Copies of this chain bind each other. A is one copy, B any other.
């Protein structure tokens, strides 16, 4: 079987999540290629070496460009800070390599557009890490919607809220910078927009309201020096989908009590389904004729689940969604993939987020195609 050489850039939480996912994907799936963990890069080469050993990579690089140039590397996985996605992905594309980039695709819509164009021109496979989409529960939801189980879709109501920035004394970080794709909308909301797009389709127009609640934060933890904050703490928007459905999205990083509340309800003429990432193995479902909502629990009948457990109720964890994402990526690289969240789809998400920002700033409805 053909070998596929994986190169991974970044050794933080997300770098490790990728490493685990590549390792586990080859153990749990029958893949059409053999995954070879070829190289790991980190600016701190000692750290790169240490992690390479722990995670099973054959080689370590202190320079990401060297990893991209490494002839053993055919697929480049990017888990670095947001502003580095563009140069790294462009270099990988230029080298003719498949790219697996964490979200957000880029820190500006222009970058994102350039990236998807370059990928098209080079003919390389691309994927972006909207890992929540790879939940078997979400695959089921998508299948049900596509099959018409809910009838014609008429509404999407979504929210992604957490509280990690709720404390006004939480200091400034790169997440507070527009230039680094900071703010609740970019950081959290983009996952929700990706989900809306993945499940319900293109959004035609939006109206929105962004809100910076804490306009200043300490420059560092405990400091009395304050720094002005320009990014949004919360955002609310109205959506009109191309298929006629309407909806709302809300996102906040200072909604007390929530930890990973990526949630939505999709309603159609024949039924309603509801999901909350804080209970990722469940789906609430109502179809005409039922007495009440059903609570579905993930099990081996769902796409992807059986690879991890033969029994319903065993539950998948966050990291296993990443393993499922890697499987889909590898199938695509091997030419056997179905449609996935590639640079085109990720750019569409960025464009939608941009439209929301413009609509909020100009206080008017915006056609997404305008931006």
Residues on A facing B (Cβ under 8 Å): 13, 16, 19-20, 23-24, 26-28, 54-56, 150, 154-155, 157, 159, 162, 164, 166, 168, 207-209, 211, 213, 233-234, 236-238, 240, 246-248, 250, 252, 254-261, 265, 267-272, 277-280, 285-288, 290-297, 299, 308-320, 363-365
Question: How far is B309's CA from A308's CA once the two chains are assembled, in angstroms?
Answer: 19
> Among B155, B270, B279, B309, which residue has its beta carbon within 8 angstroms of that of A319?
B309
Known: A155-B250, A207-B238, A291-B296. 20 other contacts (CB 8 A): A24-B24, A150-B256, A154-B213, A155-B255, A157-B159, A157-B236, A162-B313, A207-B209, A207-B365, A209-B240, A209-B246, A211-B246, A255-B267, A256-B267, A256-B269, A257-B286, A278-B315, A279-B279, A280-B315, A308-B318
Task: Tell me how many chains of this kind the complex includes.
Answer: 4
Question: How far is B259's CA from A310's CA once the two chains are assembled, in angstroms?
Answer: 12
Q: Which residues of B contact A23 (CB under 8 A)?
A: 23-24, 27
A256-B288 contact given A310-B13, A317-B317, CB 8 Å threshold? yes
**Which one of A296, A297, A311 has the greatest number of beta carbons of chain B within 10 Å?**
A297
Residue of B nearest to A318 (CB): B314
A184 CB → nearest B CB, Å: 11
> Among B291, B317, B365, which residue has its beta carbon within 8 angstroms of that of A364?
B365
